Amino acid sequence: MSLSPDQWVETHLGPIAEWLSSVVFYAVPVAGTQVPLIVAWTAVAGLFFTIYLRFINFRALGLAIRHARGDFSDPNARGEISHFKAVATAISGTVGVGNIGGVAVAISLGGPGAAFWLFVAGLLSMATKLVECTLGVKYRRYNADGSVSGGPMFYMEMYFRERGWPLLGKGFGSLYALALVLGCLGIGNMFQSNQAFAQVLVITGGQDSFLADRGWMFGLALASVIAAVIIGGIRSIAQVAAILVPVMALLYFCSSLLVIGLSAEYLPAALGMVLSEAFTGQAASGGILGAMVIGFQRALFSNEAGIGSASIAHAAVKTEAPASEGITALLEPFIDTVVICSLSSLVILTTAIPQGLMGSGLAGIELTSAAFAWHFAWAPYVIALAAMLFAFSSALAWSYYGLKGWTYLVGEGRFRTFIFQTIFCVFIALGCMLELRAVLDFSDAMTFMIALPNILALYLFAPLVRREINQYLAAVEGR
């Protein structure tokens, strides 16, 4: 019996993704729970920078909103895009279908307590995001064609170059760039298209749909639309993101509030269950520590704090003050994780669990969709639209991130750019042909692999970033 294209891809690539995940997420036993070292590495960084920068996540949130609004814009500053477009582009890369499907995965694996730790991780991640985006602007490079290149590979290289070790700096930069190129094919590519396709299957008949075992058809169509935008570079991507991000966020925000409101009778019990299982050790998969690990893992997968990707988009901003963009970047984890992921959690907790949908065989975005559909039969169509928008916007941003890693390795040039964009679009189609577990294994592994060298660089630059932030806050005080 011959395999369909989807089955062939799953058979051959699924085991590779599983092996890669086991390597990256090497875990050690702690109090009876397996704790992946790479998750602890990113979580500790968020806590460290929150304390080291004196809770800048909370102190400067209002200032971040003013920056995004354009209150401090300098039209004569170098760069390509405004503060708002920079943050919109970066948010488009973080607000993906992981906000819909990934939250359901976290609660399914870690119990309701995982929702609490996901929320906490979002707050701590804000400080990490500020540090990496400040550095992204400070050490960006200006290309001959007027474009800007920035990101961890550049500030890693510069740290060691300034200390007389240029080859070591180039090595660290190249290591990050290579991991970024591979990582963009997972978190911002295959996972997004996989979950968007899963929701389209739901509204077209499930396994009876004409698209069943034909994920490649949907993937090619999605890849074609994405290709039409990414050819225009960061300005084209930012222009689309500036329109798309507010629309998709508002659509999902209002829809979630409506569903939560219709299940308001279950809200007090849901919140009580979250707090109880977050602290009493009753959560699934290892009690309190298991819930914490899963919550942090899914939050960091969603908002990408610690992996440095967003600093690539922020590096293109029009500003001469690196700290101004670091402060603006506080909005990303706040919107992505603290707000949107929390809404997804409450949808699951107030509808999916009370109505017995959890554990019914549904996974990821299908579970969230079923919770919406409990109240509105037509809700899966809204989720499908949101998933399409989220997947589309995330792929746009990550195509740019991956491209910058690619050009760091092979150099600038139209033909070299075309090669990467072609590879990126091929993986969009592949994501629709793999099972969710394989895609999650590959996406998580690639995402957290990037965090290893990046967070090391953030620690090395910590004193410099604190000076930049303090000087900038003193300069804008009273404005």
Of the candidates 114, 73, 103, 33, the residue with the CA atom closest to the CA atom of residue 317 = 73
Number of domains in the chain: 1
Give CA–CA dist 414/264, Å, rounded. 54
313-295-351 Cα angle (round to 5): 105
| pLDDT grade for 283, boundaries at 50, 70 and 90 | very low
Has residue 82 been placed in a domain? Answer: yes
- In 3-state terms, what secondary structure has residue 378? coil
**Within-domain flag for 306:** yes
Rounded to two decimals, what is the model's pTM? 0.82
pLDDT tier at 136, thresholds 50, 70, 90:
very high
CA–CA gap between residue 228 and residue 248 (Å, rounded): 20
pLDDT digits (tens, 9 = 90+) for 203-245: 776 666 666 666 767 778 877 878 777 776 666 777 777 777 7
Is 475 part of any domain? no
CA-based end-to-end distance of the chain: 71
**How does residue 4 score in pLDDT terms, banded at 50, 70 and 90?**
low
Q: What pLDDT, on the 0 to 100 scale, is given for residue 376?
A: 79
The listed range with the strongest mean pLDDT (2-11, 65-74, 273-282) is 65-74
Residue scoring higher pLDDT (31 or 348):
348
**pLDDT at position 338:** 87
Tell me, what's the pLDDT at 447? 66
pLDDT of amino acid 27: 76
| β-bridge pairing 148-149 and 141-142 | antiparallel
Q: Name the residue range of residue 460's domain.
A: 5-470
Model confidence at 335, pLDDT cuts 50, 70, 90, reads confident
Question: Residue 81: phi, psi to the nearest 5?
Answer: -135, 165
Tally: H helices and E strands in the chain: 22, 4
Which residues, in sequence order, are CB contacts of 224 under 8 Å at separation 6+?
425
* CA-based nearest residue to 212, from 473, 432, 460: 432
For the segment 387-435, what is each residue's pLDDT rounded down to a tens digit?
Answer: 777 777 778 888 888 888 999 998 877 888 889 888 888 888 877 776 6
Q: Tell me the pLDDT of the chain averaged across its residues.
A: 80
For 22-55, write each residue's pLDDT tens digit: 777 777 877 666 777 888 888 899 999 999 999 9
Asked if the model's pLDDT at residue 1 lies above 80, the reply is: no
Angle at 305 between CA 427 and CA 57, to 5 degrees: 150
- Model confidence at 443, pLDDT cuts 50, 70, 90, reads low
The residues pairing with 438 across neighbouring beta strands, listed in sequence order, are none
For residue 116, is pLDDT > 60? yes
What's the Rg (C-alpha) of the chain? 21
Q: Write out the two tokens for 439.
A: 């895609």
DSSP string, 111-145: -THHHHHHHHHHHHHHHHHHHHHHHHHHT-EE-TT
225 inside domain? yes
Residue 477 lies in a domain: no
At 114, which CATH number? 1.20.1740.10
pLDDT at 54: 93
Output the pLDDT for position 119. 87
User: What are 90-115's pLDDT values in tens digits?
Assistant: 777 676 666 776 777 777 777 788 88
pLDDT at 271: 87
Q: How far is residue 62 from each of residues 91, 101, 328, measured CA to CA in Å?
A: 18, 30, 10
Mean pLDDT check: name the lowest of 167-181, 331-345, 361-375: 361-375
Of 20-29, 303-312, 456-465, minimum mean pLDDT range: 20-29
